[in-house]
Amino acid sequence: MFRKRILALLAVLPLIASVASAIAGQGFVSARGGAFYRDGSQYTFVGANYWYGGLLGLEKDRKRGVERLRKELDLLKKNGVTNLRLPGGVEGTGPINDVARIGPSLQPTQGKFDESVLDGLDLILFEMGKRKMKAVIFLSNNWEWSGGFQQYLIWNKVVPESLLTRKPDWDELCDVVAKFYTCEPCKSGYRKQAELIIKRKNKLNGKPYIDDPTIMAWEIANEPRPMRAFAKEDYKLWLSQTSAMIKALDPNHLVTIGHEGWIGTQDIKLFESIHADKNVDYVTIHIWPKNWQWFTAGEMEAGYSGVVSETEKYIAENSAVAERLTKPLVIEEFGLPRDGQSFDPASKTTIRDAYFDRVLAKVGHGRIAGANFWAFGGTARPRLGQTFWRNGDEYMGDPPMEEQGLNTVFDRDRSTWQVIRKYSVGSR
């Protein structure tokens, strides 16, 4: 049934392409010849990951949440940050892998949606539109902090419900998530949520999302990985089917995968193959020196030269793929801890600032059209003596399963903002 549906959608893609061409020049971002364009001019950007932005308008104290959102968007705009990466919705509620997940949830139980949660996404898109900012919206998650693929697998009893309250080791996690690509009800659940979001009409401006140029792109998921070699072919097929589905639903916006680069597939040929798909408009990479052990734990300063070397190599390897495909590339996640790997917002960011300078300097060169740092944390602050997020705490750049303050760029990190402004001035 799904195969017939995809074939039917593919048959109308030439018409979709002509419609997309007709709307060019109306503020929508397009991709051609290895670059982004907006209103006839080449578009490059310095952006941020702002995953909690669409949740602020849903706080119990709505006025307080909305005021924080507006204040933070003004700060970002003032510093030239014009592109924000946001999640579309959360699957499930409560703990998962024994850590709190973000919320409120768009899909609290399988197939049951609380559409009022999308009021928060309406709000941030409305406010971003007033500031001429662009949004990239990812539709699910490979990782547990927003429910994501694991939640679909738990709902459909493919993996044990005990994963809600216990943390799997890396090998088990890989075994678990790899099952998503052969789980038909899981993939069906994903499609229902994706369609709900894409077909949404913004309550604040009356615009269907598909007609809103504030949205730059739909992203299939945050960091979707095959996780295991046996899943590669099913993974590739699902990405191809899903990108075609999104394009058929919305011919106006770009589609991308949300990938980390070849590390996410452990296979640069597979990485290139999935991005060669005609319905995938641009290439993304993420860079995580700490998670990928490019420096010894606790010795970031001593290992910094190695971090720079590995980063330069990684960008070059993935950029070569974008060059061969003649598609733009976005470095849509990158970050480093504060000096001494401190979580204290008062601590220095000397090494991080130098790293940001290295990465942001790449924007506008070769196929690299943009970069989104991880992550903006605005006016929030970690609680003294408390390492991880708890219910009731303010959201900041670090998701609940990470040490609060680890990678967050706060509103008062003046030296970091100075670096960001150095490169965002040239973004358009």
Tens digit of each residue's pLDDT (9 = 90 or more) over 183-201? 999 999 999 999 999 999 9
Three-class SS state of 222:
strand
Give CA torsion, residues 262, 265, 271, 274, to 10 deg.
Answer: -150
Specify the DSSP element, H or E, that contains 329.
strand 329-334
Res 428 pLDDT > 70: no
Q: What is the mean pLDDT of residues 329-342?
A: 97
Q: What is the mean pLDDT of residues 89-97?
A: 97
Please check whether residue 371 is in contact with residue 334, taking contact to mean a CB–CB distance below 8 angstroms. Answer: yes
Cis peptide before 297 (omega within 30 of 0): no
Q: For residue 329, give the nearest of 289, 292, 280 by alpha carbon.
A: 280
Percent of the chain with pLDDT over 90: 92
- Other Cβ atoms less than 10 A from the Cβ of 14: the count is 9
Domain count, the chain: 1
**Alpha carbon distance 166, 355 (integer Å):** 35
pLDDT tens for 55-79 read 999 998 999 999 999 999 999 999 9
- Other Cβ atoms less than 10 A from the Cβ of 106: the count is 24
Q: How is 71-97 classified by DSSP, letter by letter? A: HHHHHHHHTT--EEEEE---BS-SEET
Place of tokens 């924000």: 84
Res 338 pLDDT > 80: yes
Question: How far, CA to CA in Å, does 82 sit from each of 45, 270, 399?
Answer: 7, 31, 22
pTM over 0.85: yes
pLDDT tens for 358-404 read 999 999 999 999 999 999 999 999 999 999 999 899 999 999 999 99
Res 357 pLDDT > 80: yes
Res 157 pLDDT > 70: yes
Structure tokens at 346: 């008062």
**Alpha carbon distance 398, 310 (integer Å):** 24
pLDDT score recorded for residue 266: 96
Q: What is the mean pLDDT of residues 160-176?
A: 98
Q: What is the mean pLDDT of residues 250-277?
A: 98
Res 423 pLDDT > 70: yes
**Alpha carbon distance 80, 76 (integer Å):** 6
Structure tokens at 423: 């490169």
Its domain, for residue 46, covers: 2-424
Res 23 pLDDT > 60: no
Percent of the chain with pLDDT over 70: 93
Q: What is the mean pLDDT of the chain?
A: 94
Tally: H helices and E strands in the chain? 12, 15
Please check whether residue 255 is in contact with residue 246, taking contact to mean a CB–CB distance below 8 angstroms. Answer: yes
pLDDT score recorded for residue 24: 45
Q: What angle do CA 60, 66, 71 make, to 5 degrees?
A: 140
Q: What is the mean pLDDT of residues 111-139?
A: 98
pLDDT score recorded for residue 26: 75
**Alpha carbon distance 424, 418 (integer Å):** 10
pLDDT score recorded for residue 16: 46
Q: What is the mean pLDDT of residues 314-332?
A: 98
C-alpha radius of gyration, the chain, whole number: 20
pLDDT tens for 207-226 read 999 999 999 999 999 999 99
Res 6 pLDDT > 90: no
Please check whether residue 333 is in contact with residue 372, taking contact to mean a CB–CB distance below 8 angstroms. Answer: yes
Higher per-residue pLDDT: 56 or 7: 56
Looking at residue 58, which CATH number applies to its domain? 3.20.20.80
Inter-helix orientation angle 232-249/184-198, to 10°: 30
Res 355 pLDDT > 70: yes
Residues forming beta bridges with residue 36, ordered by sequence position: 31
